[in-house]
Structure 1
């Protein structure tokens, strides 16, 4: 089985392409060989193979040789690393929102009326 360590930034760049997102969507339901992945896509089978290489190099896919075929599956650790990265971004955005909301809710003038 071939697997590359996950890199969230590379994974995001890989997922920017709609064909690659379609491939990932198909693999959500289980491992498939390139021929089945290519079926119904608007790009050639060699192009699908190139997209699979990009996704694999980004750490999002595991590749397992089975006889003369190669079977592709989502790489759990790669997907988990991407999720951790996105969760951290989301946490930062929520913290910034909470800080801003807290500042707006605080009175600007803290003097007590006489």
Structure 2
């Protein structure tokens, strides 16, 4: 690893550890919850990209909506805990859209089922 990159990553890690040391256990837990939500939310793009590459066209798999909903709800909970209106207003409408898309997908499957 290049010394510049190593120094940069070391500085980031040191800053993160200093940030966490000043936090209560509950705040650290909420930080982990928020980061988990962001990771789930980010994974949806990777899942969609892999799915599209496999099919050689842009597609959105159902798992994209599940990851969106899970990540969105967790980040929304984090935003509510932090009383952060930017996070709350950013995640609340999206969460409704993700849930509605899943409802439409599942209603469509029910309508296509032979009786």
TM-score of the aligned structures, taking structure 2 as reference length? 0.33
**Larger helix proportion of the pair:** 2
Higher share of residues assigned strand:
1
Alignment TM-score, normalising by the size of structure 1? 0.33
Which structure would you say has the larger RCO, counting Cα contacts within 8 Å and 6 or more residues apart?
1
Rg larger for: 1
